[in-house]
Amino acid sequence: MSERLQIDLINEVSVRVAEHSVPLVSSRKTVALMAYLALTGQPHRREHLCELFFPDTNDPKGSLRWSLTKLRQALNTHDACLQTPGATVLIDTDLIELDVHYVQAVHDAAAPSGVDLLRAAELLSFKPLMGLELARNDDYGLWLMGEREQLHSLRPRIFQTLVTTDGVSDQDAVKWLRRWLRLDPYSHEAPRLLSQKLIDLGLQDEAAKVTRDYAALMGDDAVRVTRRVPPEPVRARQSIGFCNASDGVKIAYATVGSGPPLVKAANWLNHLELDWESPIWADMFRALAADHTFVRYDERGNGLSDWDVPEISFPAFLEDLETVVDHLGLTRFPLLGLSQGCAVSIEYSVRHPEKVSAMILIGGYAAGWRIGLSPEECEQREAVLTLTRHGWGTSNPAYRHIFSQTFMPNADSERLAWFDDFQRRTTSPQNAVRFQEAFGDIDIRHLLPEVQVPTLVIHARDDQRIPLRCGRELAANIPNAELVTLESQSHIILGDEPAWQVCMNEISRFLAKHASADGQN
């Protein structure tokens, strides 16, 4: 009997037999079709598949036939996994090994082995089913979100069983509990178990901090942790929608929370689903959504927005922000910019001062690297562009690690690995180059004196990505701007850095002082 085909979908889409990789066509829709057939494990009418995957093509039946031909070439070299009886299509799941089924089986097992628990926990340590998004297929997108939620629901039992398994040291248990808490910050069991494990190790101060952080996040419900009463899971849910820019590019946006709107301009790189539950930005985003209707979007060329776009440029970035604001009917709001999103925010505020009640600029600059950096630094950036062209999309993270280290020089290996993988999955190699080139040409220095809105500039003193002098330039030339310098080396301030709490306190203070009371949409 031949080896069964292994299809992996959770972290990185791949097909292999034994240890030999099976090449897949680069078509995103074809790969998504394979995932849909494998995960559903049942026959589907061709008409249904055409409607789900090819609604915007001139010849959906022809597109489906082409995709099925490519899938047969990849999947049917050993067994007839892909079958097309009559007018239906299916992947026979009895002939394949699927990582999603493996994780589900580990979850359902009465006494799973430590090895299986460890592998399942590793698989669930990243955002599942990445690389399967299709920007123009809303029905498929809803199905994909449901599959992700199903995988999310497996985490608690797998992680909890793992940390109580014989052979797992207290130190390893703490590592896994911290990871679980980062992945599911609204979990009730993760902070309770982590706090208890830290106490067992004699780390009372750390245990107390876990409890305080949880109490601050959950409010009155946190008392249930000390009473050991497991309530129903609480999770803030964001709503994702799409709108069209003037050139037809589809822009994805998300809203979450309640209260007056707070709009965040896009930055390098974004993905609405990954960002929201990431170990990098989740702390900040959830804090901002606690008191506002927090609005984010993926600018063109990355995330859930269209990738195949005619233009990636600063004017296009500005139009993406205008498109989302106009689509949502926002009339007045504070505007948050991170990194190059600061330049977009500044120009938007100059063009639309009646809409922007206040502006917060974190780690920003007015002149791109081709203009604002030294010849030596520009030469380094050009070298990075060459590396990006040739290595961005590979499985080797070294190319993307160049960025990760400068964004978060003191991050632990887990978060650096997450950011490496996040960047690869969030945009194509070609677009990664186009973004960097567009950032290099930004120049809004002439607009700084024209800013009319209250502005807070926040910058890390030893930012390894954007020097402090860039933040000082913004504060010095924007009328009446405030400057706050953070004691950090990070371009992305992480939630466990002391500087993060300083940053969030300053944002809260500034918004309370300046955000307009009439900021309703």
Q: DSSP per residue over 420-483, as a string?
A: HHHHHHHS-HHHHHHHHHHHHT-B-GGGGGG--S-EEEEEETT-SSS-HHHHHHHHHHSTT-EE
Mean pLDDT over 310-321 rounds to: 96
Strand runs (DSSP E) across 210-355, as ranges?
A: 239-244, 250-256, 261-264, 293-298, 333-338
At 426-439, the pLDDT tens digits run 888 889 889 988 99
358 SS3 class:
strand
Residues recorded for the chain: 521
- Percent of the chain's residues with pLDDT above 90: 53
CATH architecture of 104-227: Alpha Horseshoe (1.25)
What CATH number has the domain spanning 239-369+444-514?
Answer: 3.40.50.1820
State which amino acid sits at residue 100: V
> pLDDT class for 232, splitting at 50, 70, 90?
very low
Fold for 5-100, please state it.
Arc Repressor Mutant, subunit A (1.10.10)
Q: Check if the beta carbon of residue 350 is closer than 8 Å to that of residue 360.
A: no
Buried b (16+ CB within 10 A) or exposed e, 258-278: eebbbbbbbbbbbbbbbbbbb
Q: How many Å apart are CA 507 and CA 498, to the nearest integer?
A: 15
Give the pLDDT score at 227. 37
Comparison of pLDDT for 57 and 126, the residue scoring more: 57
pLDDT higher than threshold 60 for residue 476: yes
User: What values do phi and psi take at 462, rounded to 5?
Assistant: -115, 35
Mean pLDDT over 51-60 rounds to: 90
State which amino acid sits at residue 149: E
> pLDDT class for 442, splitting at 50, 70, 90?
very high
Residue 289: C-alpha distances to residues 89, 295, 421, 444, 504 (Å): 43, 9, 26, 29, 12
Angle formed by the axes of helices 189-200 and 204-218, to 10°?
170
Give the pLDDT score at 495. 86
Q: How many Å apart are CA 451 and CA 478, to the nearest integer?
A: 6
Closest CA to 415 of 295, 300, 283: 283
The percent of the chain in helix, strand and coil, each rounded to the nearest 5, is 50, 15, 35
At 356-381, the pLDDT tens digits run 999 999 999 999 988 867 777 777 77
At 29-41, the pLDDT tens digits run 999 999 999 999 9
Most confident option among 52-66, 245-259, 320-334, 403-417: 320-334
pLDDT higher than threshold 60 for residue 395: no
Give the pLDDT score at 47. 93
Domain residue limits, the chain = 5-100, 104-227, 239-369+444-514
Give me the residue label for tokens 């070439």. Answer: 73
Mean pLDDT over 325-354 rounds to: 96
Give the pLDDT score at 425. 81
What is residue 52's DSSP assignment?
A: H
Q: Check if the beta carbon of residue 263 is closer than 8 Å to that of residue 292.
A: no
The mean predicted confidence, pLDDT, of the chain is 86
Q: Check if the beta carbon of residue 7 is closer than 8 Å to that of residue 97.
A: yes
Q: Check if the beta carbon of residue 199 is closer than 8 Å to that of residue 207.
A: yes
pLDDT higher than threshold 60 for residue 233: no
Mean pLDDT over 320-341 rounds to: 96
- Single pTM value for the model: 0.60
pLDDT higher than threshold 80 for residue 5: yes
Alpha-carbon radius of gyration of the chain: 24
At 259-272, the pLDDT tens digits run 899 999 999 889 99
> pLDDT class for 517, splitting at 50, 70, 90?
very low
Token pair belonging to 362: 């974190």
pLDDT higher than threshold 90 for residue 44: yes
